Amino acid sequence: MRFEDQRKMIVKELIQYGIRDKRVLHAFETIPRERFVLTEYSEYAYRNQPLPIELNQTISQPLMIAIMMEHLNLSSDDIVLEIGTGSGYQTALLASIAKEVCTIERLDALSLKARNTLKSLGYENIYYRIGDGSQGWQKAFPTYTEFSKIIVSAAAAQVPEKLISQLADPGILVIPVGAHHYQSLIKITKSDGIVTQSTHGGCTFVPLIINGQ
């Protein structure tokens, strides 16, 4: 089956699981996930499951990405901060909707490979930084100090204060929080100076590495 047909099938599956945001669904239908997985796993690119990538990391399950993106309520005006570039697949999904995406990855090799893949696909609204994602966007171009949307693709024991401080008002932050083997998906909303938190089910992510720990 052609990859194009497989993309349509994964979109139908996401709809069955309750994803309704048309912008998110369109992104999944158009972004070639097969370009972001290891060659030996390309035939599994559109299965609704995480897959291994380089350096013992993973490309997240499509449904989990879709859930997190839907909670962000993305628009074409958004400046998004992504913590955990990984393969670059989620970065591409975000960049296909938002105005700009600033993405941070702690592993040099992953960041560079993702950058090459994304550039080969024609993305020009993505900016990259290698470093500690828990500290947010700093000492990097563009010199943004806040973001309307922040998405974290690694689990933290608690929501990093630096990320809350870089969340614009109004703004939305989505992050998995909890122990190494099981977390809760947390949504932080900032509006009129008030920060609220809500929980949206369980999830499992690799841990967010802070200061090399």
Q: What is the pLDDT along the chain (213 residues), one digit of tens a residue?
A: 899 999 999 999 999 999 999 999 999 999 999 999 999 999 999 999 999 999 989 999 999 999 999 999 999 999 999 999 999 999 999 999 999 999 999 999 999 999 999 999 999 999 999 999 999 999 999 999 999 999 999 899 999 999 999 999 999 999 999 987 789 999 999 999 999 999 999 998 888 877 544
142 preceded by a cis bond (ω within 30 of 0)? yes
**Catalytic residue ranges:** 60
Query: What is the reported pLDDT for 129?
Result: 97
Residue 186 zone, left/alpha/beta (φ > 0; ψ -120 to 50; rest): beta
- Which tokens is 64 given? 């989990």
**Residue 30 within a domain:** no
Query: How many residues are given for the chain?
Result: 213
**Residue 17 within a domain:** no
Instruction: Confirm if 128 and 85 have CB atoms less than 8 A apart.
Output: yes
Task: Indicate the residue type of 170.
Answer: P
Collapse the DSSP code of 110 into the 3-class scheme (helix H, G, I; strand E, B; otherwise coil) and give the result: helix
Structurally, the chain folds into a number of domains equal to: 1
Strands (E), the chain: 51-52, 58-59, 79-83, 100-105, 126-130, 147-152, 167-178, 183-191, 194-203
Domain of 171, CATH number, reads 3.40.50.150
Query: What is the reported pLDDT for 171?
Result: 98
Query: What is the reported pLDDT for 212?
Result: 47
Instruction: Confirm if 66 and 87 have CB atoms less than 8 A apart.
Output: no
Pairing assessment for the beta strands 100-105 and 126-130 based on DSSP bridges: parallel
**Residue 159 within a domain:** yes
Pairing assessment for the beta strands 51-52 and 79-83 based on DSSP bridges: unpaired
**Residue 169 within a domain:** yes
Domain, as residue range, for 98: 52-203
**Residue 39 within a domain:** no
**Residue 15 within a domain:** no
Query: What is the reported pLDDT for 191?
Result: 97
Query: What is the reported pLDDT for 211?
Result: 59
Query: What is the reported pLDDT for 181?
Result: 79
**Residue 18 within a domain:** no
Strands (E), 84-158: 100-105, 126-130, 147-152
**Residue 3 within a domain:** no
